[in-house]
């Protein structure tokens, strides 16, 4: 996200990041992804650290954003060095240390790419607000495992760029883009990776629209309805995977 924003002409002043293999980070991954995917994430990070593996990006659809001077940037440290912005490693984005640093940076806008639930003290600092790329239609699908729940609830896959507030994906919507499943989309992991890349692709468009006044935040409706979802059980993931396969199997022109 930081690399693409920089390439799109936005001047980055800094980035907050959480330690990769810290206990709180891993527990949050378990809550978001479930034990199996979290264990795979930790093993990949440990193996790369021990073996010095710098061959590939974990999400292959992000490589296009990470090309810089004929080199693929591998982590936020390299991105910050390439595009000349500072960064702070913190264990909690809502900590006094993190808030003091963001106040010092005084950004016009911020973009959330994961971590702790942000509190009002941090959300209130950027003049425009804090943007988030959510991998589903809002307000229909809020919370975690949103691509899987979209498939399970028969809600069209989409990317929603919205401003954050203290709720869970309840902030005003800036733009929404439908996401068509490519015929070669091989799995739920592949689908999620593709949607993450699409969210990064659309974020500068939303940010530019806010700055230019061509996009106005639109409050979400039906927030009294319970549209918040949580991490899917493995059995539900199997059902979502089957629905993904069925959607891929529908011939062009006959999709409903």
Which is nearest to 36 in space by CA: 234, 236, 238, 242? 234
pLDDT for residue 253: 47
Residue 254 falls inside a structural domain = no
Residue 75 located in a structural domain: yes
- pLDDT (0 to 100) of residue 101: 97
* Model pLDDT, residue 228: 83
**pTM score:** 0.86
For residues 157 and 192, the answer to whether their CB atoms sit within 8 Å is no
- Domain assignment present for residue 255? The answer is no
184 is a domain residue: yes
Number of Cβ within a 10 Å radius of residue 161:
25
Is residue 67 in some structural domain? yes
pLDDT at residue 74, as a whole number: 87
Q: Is residue 208 part of a domain?
A: yes
Question: So what's the pLDDT on residue 255?
Answer: 39
Residue 194's SS3 state is helix
Average pLDDT for consecutive 10-residue bins of the chain (256 residues)?
A: 97 91 57 60 55 67 95 93 96 95 98 92 97 97 94 97 96 97 93 97 97 95 82 89 86 44
pLDDT value for 256:
37
pLDDT at 37: 63
State the pLDDT at residue 58.
82
Question: What phi and psi values does residue 111 have, to the nearest 5 degrees?
Answer: -125, 125
Per-residue confidence (pLDDT) for residue 26, from 0 to 100: 55
- How many whole angstroms separate alpha carbon 6 and alpha carbon 17? 17
pLDDT (0 to 100) of residue 153: 95
Q: Could you tell me if residue 19 is inside a domain?
A: yes
Q: What are phi and psi of 88, to 5 degrees?
A: -130, 125
Whole-number Å distance between alpha carbons of 12 and 109: 10
For residue 86, is it within any domain? yes
Return the bridge partners of 159, or none.
Answer: 177
pLDDT confidence of residue 231: 79
Q: For residue 224, what pLDDT is reported?
A: 77
Range of the structural domain that residue 73 is part of: 2-249
3-state SS assignment for residue 11: coil
d(CA 91, CA 102): 15
- DSSP assignment, residue 218? B
Q: Kindly report the CATH number assigned to the domain that includes residue 111.
A: 3.40.50.170
Q: How many domains does the chain have?
A: 1
């Amino acid at each position: 996200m930081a690399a693409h924003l920089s390439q799109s002409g936005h001047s980055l002043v800094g980035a907050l990041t959480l330690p990769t293999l810290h206990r709180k980070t891993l527990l949050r991954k378990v809550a978001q992804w479930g034990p199996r995917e979290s264990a795979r994430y930790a093993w990949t990070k440990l193996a790369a650290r021990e073996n010095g593996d710098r061959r590939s990006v974990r999400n292959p659809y992000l490589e296009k954003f990470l090309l810089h001077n004929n080199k693929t940037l591998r982590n936020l440290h390299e991105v910050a060095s390439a595009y000349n912005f500072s960064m702070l490693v913190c264990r909690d984005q809502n900590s006094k240390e993190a808030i003091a640093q963001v106040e010092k940076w005084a950004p016009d806008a911020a973009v959330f790419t994961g971590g702790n639930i942000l509190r009002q003290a941090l959300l209130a600092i950027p003049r425009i607000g804090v943007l988030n790329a959510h991998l589903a239609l809002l307000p229909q699908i809020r919370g975690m495992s949103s691509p899987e729940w979209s498939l399970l609830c028969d809600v069209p896959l989409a990317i929603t760029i919205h401003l954050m507030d203290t709720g869970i994906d309840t902030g005003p919507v800036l733009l929404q883009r439908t996401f068509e499943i490519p015929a070669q989309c091989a799995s739920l992991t592949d689908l999620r990776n593709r949607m993450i890349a699409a969210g990064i692709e659309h974020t500068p468009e939303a940010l530019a629209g806010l700055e230019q006044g061509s996009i106005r935040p639109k409050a979400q409706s039906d927030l009294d309805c319970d549209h918040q979802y949580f991490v899917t059980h493995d059995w539900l993931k199997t059902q979502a995977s089957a629905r993904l396969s069925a959607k891929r199997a529908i011939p062009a022109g006959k999709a409903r």
